[in-house]
């Protein structure tokens, strides 16, 4: 009896067309996309729509993807385009007269002393082989955790800038802040992110 394997139970990689009909894979993918979209758009309903459209778009070309990872990367690429479109559309409706103050939670991380010099423990160390780290799956989990740890506005503008590669003007208009506020947020995001990565990843390779 053990030799009989039903076609549906074959322990081989499913054919590409099945990836998006695999409920567990789809649910997981949807959840990740939604999280990404909500972070970018700060609007649950628009995020839901963007994710839905990206998935529908992906279904049309699903047969050309052999591996789940490649399909996922591609679905995210579609999603990013949708988000960029939405953000560009939004900026036409921006109320230009008002520029919000930065909330307290978006503060500078306490890495500098009162004179503005590094605290001993927070002074950046040299990272050993940062490029090699990025072939390690565990590194990406650390990176994701650090990213989620950023205050929301810092996380959002960092992703707009470094993931979607919008320029300063586009970001300022879509989230309604001044260029100088944007640069302050990006500075803080980078200070936090590098500290987090150094603490949870690069410290292990530290030679000192």
Partner 1 sequence: MMNCEQATRLMSDSRERTLTLRERAAIKVHNLLCDGCKNFNVQVQDLGQIARRYARERDDSQAKTSHKPEQPRSTE
**What residues line the site for partner 1 (CB under 8 A)?**
2-3, 11-12, 67-70, 72-73, 76, 80, 108, 112, 115-118, 123-127, 130-131, 134-137, 140, 143, 158-159, 161-165, 167-168, 182-184, 186-187, 190-191, 193-194, 197
Q: Which is nearer to partner 1, 43 or 74 (CB)?
A: 74
Query: CA 81 to CA 87: how far, in whole Å?
Result: 10
126's tokens:
């040299």
For residues 157 and 126, give the distance between their C-alpha atoms in angstroms, rounded to a whole number: 26
Q: How far is the CB of 7 from partner 1 (least distance, A)?
A: 16
CA 176/CA 128 separation, integer angstroms: 38
Nearest residue (CB) to partner 1, 46 versus 182: 182
Residue with smaller CB distance to partner 1, 92 or 114: 114
Least distance to partner 1 from the beta carbon of 55, Å? 16
Minimum distance between the CB of residue 158 and partner 1, rounded to whole angstroms?
7
Minimal distance, residue 150 CB to partner 1, in Å: 12
Cα angle 33-39-42, degrees, rounded to a multiple of 5: 120
Q: From the CB of 164, what's the least distance to partner 1, in Å?
A: 7
**Measured torsion, CA atoms of residues 49, 51, 52, 58, in degrees rounded to the nearest 10:** 140
- How far apart CA 101 and CA 139 sit, in angstroms, is 34
* Nearer residue to partner 1 within complex by CB, 41 or 93: 41
Which C-beta is closer to partner 1: that of 17 or that of 134?
Answer: 134
When the beta carbons of 93 and 123 are compared against partner 1, the nearer one is 123
Q: How far apart are CA 182 and CA 162, in angstroms?
A: 13
CB of 103 to partner 1, least distance (A): 20
Place of tokens 């890495």: 111
Cα separation values, 76 from 43, 54, 91, 98, 127, Å: 18, 8, 22, 33, 29
């Amino acid at each position: 009896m053990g030799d009989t394997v039903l076609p549906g139970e074959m322990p081989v990689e499913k054919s590409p067309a099945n990836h998006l009909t695999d409920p567990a894979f789809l649910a997981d993918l949807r959840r990740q996309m939604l999280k990404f979209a909500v972070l970018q758009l700060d609007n649950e309903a628009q995020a839901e729509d963007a994710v839905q459209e990206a998935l529908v778009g992906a279904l049309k070309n699903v047969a050309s993807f052999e591996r789940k990872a490649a399909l996922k990367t591609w679905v995210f690429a579609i999603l990013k385009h949708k988000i960029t479109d939405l953000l560009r559309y939004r900026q036409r409706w921006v109320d230009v007269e008002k520029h919000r103050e930065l909330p307290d939670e978006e503060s500078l991380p306490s890495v500098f002393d009162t004179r503005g010099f590094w605290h001993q423990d927070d002074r950046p160390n040299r990272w050993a082989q940062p490029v090699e780290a990025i072939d390690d799956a565990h590194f990406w989990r650390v990176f994701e955790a650090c990213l989620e740890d950023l205050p929301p506005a810092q996380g959002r503008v960092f992703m707009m800038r470094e993931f979607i590669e919008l320029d300063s003007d586009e970001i300022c208009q879509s989230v309604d802040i001044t260029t100088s506020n944007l640069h302050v947020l990006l500075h803080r995001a980078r200070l936090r992110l590098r500290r987090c990565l150094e603490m949870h990843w690069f410290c292990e390779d530290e030679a000192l």
